[in-house]
Structure 1
Amino acid sequence: MDSNDKHVEQFKSCHEGRVLTKLNRLRESKVLTDVTFKLEDGEVSAQKTILAGYSDYYEKMFTTGFKEGFNEEVEVKEIKTSILDTLFTFIYLQVIDISDKTVYQLYEASDYLQFDDVKGYCVSFFNKTLAIGNCVSYRSFAQRYQLLELINKCDKFIVDNLESVSKGLNFKELSIDEAEALITLKQKKDFCQDSILKAILSWIKHDVAQRHQFIKRLFQVIDVKKLSLALLKEVVENPEEWIQKTDFFIGVLNPEYITHIKTNQRVVSGEASKVTFEFMIVGGFEAKHNVHIYDVLEKHFRETKASFYERWGSISAKIKNCVYVAGGGGAGRGTNSVECLDLNHVNVCWNNLSSMVVDRWCASSAVLNGQIYVTGGWSGNELSSAEFYKPGLNTWTKIVPMKTTRYQHATVSYKGSLFVFGGCDGLHKLNSMESIQPSEGKWKLLKPMKQKRRGLCGVVYNGEIYAIGGEGLKSVERFNIQTKTWSIVSSLNYKRKGACACVVNKKIYVIGGSGDSESETTIEVYDGMINEWKIETNMDAARYLASVVTL
C-alpha cells in the first residue's frame, strides 16, 4: 500500500461497561484504589479519577488543593458505609436500588455530595410510592429540602385522605403547627368537616396531657354546622372524659347535636311528629311526691309539679298529652287513687281522677289501644286481678284475673296483647310469663324466663320484650315474640330491684332501684346496636320503687 494513502477508519468498542464493571469489582476488593473513605461504621475505597469524572464535588476535592485531595484516607461524617458504597456503585455501574429504608439517606448524601442524578431518582421514588403510611413523613422531608412539587403532591394526598392519614403514628407525632397546617388545608377544601374533627381527636388523644392546651386552638378550625349528624351522635353520646369537660363540647358540640336532633322530624302515618327525648320520673321510696323530667340529649333534670299523693310502688302511663299515675304508697296496703298531669301545663296542679277498683302497691301497667291496663300488685295480699282505665269516660273496669298472683312484676303491651312476667306470688320469686288479648278475655302461659325475677322492670325494645334486673340481679334477658324464646343479653352494671325503665331515642333507660350502693342514685342506658350498658348519669336523690314514662 502506498505510504501516502490517507484512508482512515474509526472503530468504536462498547467496552466501557465492561471496564467500569471490572473497576468496580477491583474497588470492592480494594485493588488499584487510591483513596479510602473512613466512616463511623466502616470504610469504602475507590479510584479518585472515577469519582472526579462523575462528581463536581470530588473533582474539586482532588484537583483544587483541598487537603483531603492529597490524602489516601478521607474522613466522612454523617453518612453510613452502606449508603456511600451504594452511591459509588452507581458511579461505576450507572444503576441504583432505592427502597423505603434507604431513600432518605440516599437523598441526604446525594445532596451533600452533589449527586444530582440520584436526587432526582429519589424524588421519583417519593412520587411513585406516596401512600397513607408515608405521606406525612414524605411531606416533612420535602419541606426540609424545599421540594415544592413533592410538597404540593403530599398536601393534596393528605387532604384527600385525612381521616385515614390521621390514624397513623406519623400524623399523631406531628407538632401542633404541623398538625394545624394540614387540618387548615382540609378545612379550606371540604364542605363536610367530619374528617377534620376525627383528625383533631386523633392527634389530641395521642397525648392528652401535653396537648390539652391546644384544644381550643384546633377546634376553632371546625365549622360544626358542617359536621354530619352521624358523627355528632357518635362523639356526643359516647364522649371520652377529656373532651366531655372542654368548653368546645359543652358550649358548641353538644348544643349543635341537640339542635340537629330536636329539629329532626319523623314521618308517622303521613304526618310529621317530633322525636321524643325526655322521660318523667315519678315518686319513689325517698322521693314520694317528687316528679322530675330528664332530657337524654341535654342530660339535664328539671323538677315539675309534685303529685298530690305519695307515689312509691305506683304505676305511670302516658296517653296523648297527659301523664297518669295510680296506686302505690300507703301503710302496707297501697292506694287506689289516680291523678293526671297535663303536659301542656306541667307547672299546674295534678288533677284527681276516678280511683281504681282495687288498692294496688307494686302493680305494673301498660297502655294498649288508648287505655291503661294495670295488673296485680299488693293490697294486704298478693293480687291476680287486673283492670283498665278509659280516659274518655274516666272509668275503671275489671278484666279476667291472671293465672298467677303477682306483685313487683312487669307488664308490657305489643301488637294488641298484654304480657306479664316475673314478680313474686308471696312465697316465691317468679319466672313465669302470661299474656292476654283483652278482646279474647283469656290469659295464656308462655315460656318462662331463664331466671326468677322479683322487682324487675320491663320494656318492649326493637320488637322484643326485655326483662331487666330484679332482686339480687343485674342480668337481662329478652323474649322474641315470634319464636317465643328467651335469650340472655349484656348485663347491667349494678344489681337493680325496684327500678323502672323506658325507651327513649332508640335506647333503654333504667332508673334507680336497690341492690348495690350505687343503684338507687344512677341511671343506666342500653344501646342495642352494641349490646352494652353504660352509666348515663347520677341523680340527686335515690329512686327506689319509682315509676317512669316516656314523654
Structure 2
Amino acid sequence: MSGSRKEFDVKQILKIRWRWFSHQASSNSAVDSQQGEFWNRGQTGANGGRKFLDPCSLQLPLASIGYRRSSQLDFQNSPSWPMASTSEVPAFEFTAEDCGGAHWLDRPEVDDGTSEEENESDSSSCRTWNSELWCWNNNKYRPVIYNHLYNGERGMSLHRTSNSSQTLSSCHTMEPCSSDEFFQALNHAEQTFKKMENYLRHKQLCDVILVAGDRRIPAHRLVLSSVSDYFAAMFTNDVREARQEEIKMEGVEPNSLWSLIQYAYTGRLELKEDNIECLLSTACLLQLSQVVEACCKFLMKQLHPSNCLGIRSFADAQGCTDLHKVAHNYTMEHFMEVIRNQEFVLLPASEIAKLLASDDMNIPNEETILNALLTWVRHDLEQRRKDLSKLLAYIRLPLLAPQFLADMENNALFRDDIECQKLIMEAMKYHLLPERRPMLQSPRTKPRKSTVGTLFAVGGMDSTKGATSIEKYDLRTNMWTPVANMNGRRLQFGVAVLDDKLYVVGGRDGLKTLNTVECYNPKTKTWSVMPPMSTHRHGLGVAVLEGPMYAVGGHDGWSYLNTVERWDPQARQWNFVATMSTPRSTVGVAVLSGKLYAVGGRDGSSCLKSVECFDPHTNKWTLCAQMSKRRGGVGVTTWNGLLYAIGGHDAPASNLTSRLSDCVERYDPKTDMWTAVASMSISRDAVGVCLLGDKLYAVGGYDGQTYLNTVEAYDPQTNEWTQVAPLCLGRAGACVVTVKL
C-alpha cells in the first residue's frame, strides 16, 4: 500500500456493519450505502479533528464484513445481510485505476470551517455535503460522480442512484463509529490461570525447577513471584537463586511444597489433619499469608485437651501469634483436663515453667498446680529432679494451707534439696507471722485469678428506680455476665456470703421497709427464703464475723437505728447484740482482725466521720479514730490488715445537695490512724466495694448525674487505680461480694 493510503480501523468496520444490518434496503442501495458509508468514515487527526478517507486510497478488510475477493459474483453467507433476495453481490476494492474513472466537477468552494493549509495537508480528505460526496482536489472540494467505477476483473459498473444518495445522507447523520470503548472480560484471570495450570501439568514454558528432597517440581517464576513474597524477593533481586534454573528448598517437605505450588496456580488447597502442620510451616516459609491464616483457623477448630499444648508450641515456633494466643487461652481454660493428658508430662522444663508462671490457669487452688508439677517430675525422675527447685519457685507456696506445707517439708523429693527447703520455709513464715505479711509480699504471694473467686454485684438503684438483676465478674476473662434476678425489688439492702451462698437482707421495696431475708445459691442458681430479722431495716450494713452474720444499723421507716442483730446459722435464728454508740444509716461495714467495723453513715442530722468496732467476745462497741471526711453511702473493705473507706457523700439533712467524694482513706488498727491514699478517677456515692484477689474493686455508684456502670480496681502495692470491664447495667447502691465457686 502506498504511503498516502490509510488503513481502515477494523472496529469501525464492525460498527458500520452493525448499523447496516439494523435497517432494510434493496440490494443496490445496500451496496451503494456501503460505499457511501466507507467513503464517509475517517480517522481522528492529530489536532482532534476528523481526517476523511479518500475512496481512492481505501482498502477494506472485506472478509471481516461478509465480503470475499473472488472472480465469482457471490455473497459470502451471512444470515443478517439486509437483502430481499439471494442475489449476488460483488466483492470489490478501490484501486488507483478505479479512481481514474471518477469525474470531478468544478463547483464553488465549500466553506466547511477547515483551513486551506489543513486541507492541503490532507489531500485525500472527503466528506458529504447536500447528500453528495465531496473530495479535495486541486485545492478545492469537488463533488464526485462514479458513473463507471470499473473493477477490471469483474467488468461491472456501479451507478449512483437516488437511493444511494439517500443512503449517503443517512450515513451522514449517524453517530461517529470511532467513539472509544472499554471491554472487561469477566473471567480473564481465571482462564489465564487455567492455561498456566495446563502449562504446569504438561511441563511447558517452565523456567525454574524447585528441588525438595528427591522431588523435582517445574514451575514458572512469574506465577510463583505473583503469589509468594518469598519467591518474589528471590527472583526480583540480585541473588544467586535468581539466575539458577534449579533451586534447592532445604528442609521443605516435598508433598507440601507441591500442594502449595498447585495452590499458586489454582487458588485451591486441601487441608487435612495429617498434612496441616507441614503445610503451615511451608506456607510460613514461602510467606503465603492467606494459606497461613487458613491453616491457623483449621488448627483452632481442632483444639482439644490432648493436643492444645502441641499446637501451642508449634504456633510459637512458627511465629503464628493468633494461633498461639488461642491455643494458650484454651490450655489455660481447660488446664485441669490438660494435665491428665500425655502431652503435659512430655513437655520440656522450659515449657512447664511458662505454664506455671501464668496467672490465668483455671484451677480451684494452688495445690492443684503443685500436684501437677510433681506428676511431671516423677515421669522422668532422674533427669527432671535437677529442675525441681527452679520450677517450685513458680508455685505460690505461701498460699498453700499450713498442713500441706508441713507434708511437703517431709517429702523425699524436697528433703535433700536446699533450695526447695528455703522456699518451704518462706511460705511457713508467711503463715506464722501474719503481722509481717506486708513486708513478705512477692510474686509467690499473689493469688492466681481463678483462685480468688468471683465478684457478684447485686441489685441497686438504676434508671428504672430499682434493679433486681445480679451480675458476676470473672477476673480471668475481665467480663461481667448477668446470672440471676432477685424475687422482688430491693433498695438499700445488705448482702453477705455464708457457705458460698449470697444472703440478701432487708432493704425497702419502694413502699415499705423490709425485714425479709432470702438466700441465693450460685452453684444451683436457686433461691430460698430464710427467717426474717426482728427489725425492719434499710440502709443497713451486713457482714460475717467468725461464722454468724450481723445486720448493723439502718432505718426502720421511722427512725435511724443503732441496734444490731446477729444471725446464728446453726440455730437458724436472729438475736440482738450490743447497740452502737451512734445511729447509722447508709453505713459501711467490714470485718478486720476479728472485729466488726461500722464506718460513717448518716445519723439523721448529718453524715458521720466517726468509726466504731464490735468485739464479739466482749459484746462491746469501741470508738476508733475518725476519718478525715464525713461519709454517707461509703464503701468499705479490708486488705492485708488495713481498712479502706472509699467514696460516699457529705450533706446535712437540711441540704440534700451532696458533696460527692472520690477520696480514699486507709485505717491501720495497730496505730489507730487514717491515711489518705490515691483517689478514684471519679466521685462515687453509694459505691459497692469489695476485695478480689489482691485488689480493691469500686463498682458503680452515683456521680451526681448518672448511675455508673464503670468499675475501677485499686492496687495497694502500687497505690494506683486502673479501669476494668464495665457493668452490664449502671447501678448505685449495689451490694458487691466475692464468692469462691
Normalised TM-score (structure 1): 0.53
Hey, what's the Cα distance between the residues in 1 that align with 2:559 and 2:703?
24
Deviation at 1:495, TM superposition (A): 0.8
Amino acid at match of 2:484: K
CA separation in 2, counterparts of 1:390 and 1:547? Answer: 21
Aligned to 1:520: 708
Q: What is the identity, as a one-letter code, of the residue corresponding to 2:509?
A: G
Gap change, CA 1:306 and 1:529, over 3 Å in 2: same
The 8 Å contact of residues 457 and 470 in structure 2, kept in 1 or not, is answered as: yes
Paired letter, 2:576: K
**Do the aligned partners of residues 399 and 546 (structure 1) sit closer, same or farther apart at CA in structure 2, a change above 3 Å counting?**
same
TM-score by length of 2: 0.40
Q: Find the counterpart in structure 2 of residue 532 from structure 1.
A: 720
Measured in 2, the distance between the counterparts of 1:222 and 1:298 equals 14
1:95: which partner in 2?
none
User: Structure 2 stretches of 5 or more lacking a match?
Assistant: 1-284, 286-311, 333-354, 368-398, 406-446, 650-659
Contact 1:277 1:297 in 2 (8 A): no
CA distance in 2, matches of 1:327, 1:268: 36
Do residues 258 (structure 1) and 360 (structure 2) align?
yes
Partner of 1:510: 698
User: Corresponding residue for 2:681?
Assistant: 493
Pick closer, same or farther for the CA change 1:526–1:293 going to 2, 3 Å.
Answer: same
> Cα gap change, 1:330/1:519 in structure 2, threshold over 3 Å: closer, same or farther?
closer
- The match for 1:443 is 621
**Partner residue, 1:357:** 534
**Structure 1 residue 329: Cα displacement:** 2.0
**AA of the residue aligned to 1:313:** Q
1:324 to 503, 513, 522: 503
- Which residue matches 1:284? 460
How big is each residue's C-alpha offset from its partner over 1:36-73, in whole Å with a ceiling of 9 and x where there is no partner? xxxxxxxxxxxxxxxxxxxxxxxxxxxxxxxxxxxxxx
Deviation at 1:276, TM superposition (A): 2.2
In 2: Cα distance, 1:292 partner to 1:218 partner = 33
Q: 1:505, 1:368 → 2: CA distance?
A: 20
How far off is 1:393 after superposition? 1.9
Residue 513 of structure 2: aligned partner: 334
The question of 1:414 aligning with 2:592 is answered yes
Matched, 1:298 2:477: yes
Q: CA deviation at 1:515?
A: 1.5
Flag the 1:457–1:222 CA change in 2: closer, same or farther, 3 A: closer
User: Does 1:268 find its partner at 2:401?
Assistant: yes
How much does 1:278 deviate? 0.8
Question: Does 2:507 align with 1:344?
Answer: no
Q: What SS does the aligned partner of 1:405 have?
A: coil
Q: Which residue of 2 aligns with 1:382?
A: 560
C-alpha contact (below 8 Å) 2:549/2:568 kept by paired residues: yes
CA distance in 1, matches of 2:404, 2:505: 32
Deviation at 1:418, TM superposition (A): 0.9
Letter matched to residue 546 of structure 1: A
Query: Structure 1's 276 and 354: CA in aligned 2 closer, same or farther, altered over 3 A?
Result: same
Q: Give the superposition deviation at 1:505.
A: 1.4
1:484 maps to: 672
CA distance in 2, matches of 1:497, 1:382: 20
Q: Deviations over 1:206-257 (max 9, x none)?
A: xxxxxxxxx985666899869xx9xxxxxxxxxxxxxxxxxxxxxxx9xx75
CA contact (8 A) 1:362 1:408 kept: yes
Aligned-CA RMSD value: 3.6
User: In the alignment, which of 434, 439, 462 is matched to residue 612 of structure 2?
Assistant: 434
Number of corresponding residues: 321
Q: Distance in 2 between matches of 1:450 and 1:359?
A: 31
Which letter does structure 2 place at the counterpart of 1:279?
Answer: L
Equivalent pair of 1:512/1:544 in contact (CA under 8 Å):
yes
Partners of 1:342 and 1:222 lie apart in 2 by: 34
Q: Distance in 2 between matches of 1:446 and 1:400?
A: 17
Three-state SS of the structure 1 residue aligned to 2:708 is helix
Match of 1:259, SS state, is coil
Structure 2 CA distance for aligned equivalents of residues 271 and 549 of structure 1 = 28
Shift of 1:301: 2.4
Structure 2 residue 646 is the aligned partner of structure 1 residue 468: yes
**For 2:360 and 2:722, how far apart are their aligned partners in 1?**
20
Q: Deviations over 1:109-140 (max 9, x none)?
A: xxxxxxxxxxxxxxxxxxxxxxxxxxxxxxxx
Q: Cα 1:220–1:298, aligned 2, differ >3 Å: closer, same or farther?
A: closer
Structure 2 residue matching 1:270: 3-state secondary structure: helix
Kept in 1, the 8 Å contact 2:540–2:551? The answer is yes
Identity %: 26
* Helix, strand or coil at the partner of 1:535: strand
Pairing of 1:33-72 with structure 2 (within 5 A): none
Moved over 4 A (4+): 215-226, 260-263, 271-274, 516-519
Unaligned runs of 5+ in 1: 1-176, 178-192, 198-214, 230-252
Q: CA deviation at 1:331?
A: 3.6
Q: Distance in 1 between matches of 2:468 and 2:322?
A: 44
Q: What code does the residue aligned with 1:491 have?
A: S
User: Does structure 2 conserve the Cα–Cα contact (< 8 Å) formed by 1:333 and 1:360?
Assistant: no
Q: CA deviation at 1:300?
A: 2.1
> Which residue pairs with 2:251 in the alignment?
none
Tell me the CA shift for residue 409 of structure 1.
1.4
How far apart are the structure 1 equivalents of 2:326 and 2:632? 51
The CA distance in 1 between the partners of 2:578 and 2:663, in whole Å, is 32
Q: Deviations over 1:260-312 (max 9, x none)?
A: 66664442353699722311111112353211121122122232232223222
Offset at residue 344 of structure 1 (A) = 2.6
Give 1:25-174 correspondences, 5 Å limit: none
Write the distance in 1 (CA, Å) between the matches of 2:707 and 2:584: 24
CA drift at 1:516: 5.1
In 1: Cα distance, 2:607 partner to 2:522 partner: 37
**Using the alignment, how far apart are the partners of 1:457 and 1:397 within structure 2?**
26
| Matched position secondary structure for 1:304 | strand
Query: Match for 1:308 among 466, 481, 487?
Result: 487
- The separation in 2 between residues aligned to 1:548 and 1:407, in whole angstroms, is 18
Cα separation, 2, equivalents of 1:224 and 1:529: 32
- Provide the rounded CA distance (Å) in 2 between the counterparts of 1:263 and 1:416: 25
| 1:438 to partner: Cα distance | 1.9
Which structure has the higher relative contact order (CA within 8 Å, separation 6+)? Answer: 1
Partner of 2:180: none
Q: 1:257 to 1:421 in 2, by over 3 A?
A: closer
Question: Is 2:481–2:728's contact at 8 Å kept on the other side of the alignment?
Answer: no
Residues 305-333 of structure 1: CA deviation (Å, up to 9, x unaligned) = 32223222111111112211101123465
Give the letter aligned to residue 493 of structure 1: S
Give me the whole-angstrom Cα distance separating, in 2, the residues matched to 1:498 and 1:221. 43
Aligned equivalent of 1:424, options 591, 602, 605: 602
TM-aligned CA distance change 1:223 to 1:385, over 3 Å: closer
> Is the alpha carbon distance of 1:220 and 1:271 closer, same or farther for their aligned partners in structure 2, counting shifts above 3 Å?
same
Residue type of the partner of 1:477? E
CA displacement at 1:443 relative to structure 2: 1.3
Partners of 2:603 and 2:626 in 1: how far apart? 15
Q: 2 CA distance for matches of 1:290 and 1:519?
A: 15
Aligned residue number for residue 47 of structure 2: none
Task: Judge which range, 262-271 or 307-316, deviates more.
Answer: 262-271
Displacement of 1:434: 0.6
How far does residue 547 in structure 1 lie from its aligned partner after superposition?
0.6
Q: How far off is 1:374 after superposition?
A: 1.2
